[in-house]
Amino acid sequence: MNLNHAYGKPPSREDGAALLTHALDTGVTFFDTAALYGMGESERLVGATLGHRRGEFTLASKCVLDIRDGKRSLDGSPAAIATTLEGSLKRLGTEHIDLYYLHRLDRDVPIEESVGALARAVEAGKIGAIGLSEMSAATIRRAHAVHPIAAVQSEYSCVVRNPEIAVLDTCRELGIGFVAFSPVARGLLAGAVRSDDYGATDLRASMPRFTGENLRHNLIAVTAFDALAREVGCTPAQLSMAWLLSRGDHVVPIPGTRSIAHLDEDLGAASVAITPEVAARIDAICAKDAIRGARYPAAMQAQIDTETFADEELA
CB-based contact 88:43 (threshold 8 Å): yes
Is 198 considered catalytic here? no
Candidates 37, 101, 156, 296; catalytic one: 37
- The helix-helix angle for 212-232 and 236-245 (nearest 10°) equals 80
3-state secondary structure the chain: CCCCCCECCCCCHHHHHHHHHHHHHHCCCEEECCCCHHHHHHHHHHHHHHHHHHHHCEEEEEECEEEECCEEEECCCHHHHHHHHHHHHHHHCCCCEEEEEECCCCCCCCHHHHHHHHHHHHHCCCEEEEEEECCCHHHHHHHHHHCCEEEEEEECECCECHHHCCHHHHHHHHCCEEEEECCCHHHHHHCCCCCCCCCCCEHHHHCHHHCHHHHHHHHHHHHHHHHHHHHHCCCHHHHHHHHHHCCCCCEEEECCCCCHHHHHHHHHHHHCCCCHHHHHHHHHHCCCCCCCCCCCCHHHHCCCCCCCCCCCCCC
| CA 177 vs CA 63, 168, 180, 306: distances in Å | 19, 9, 10, 16
Q: Which residues form the catalytic set?
A: 37
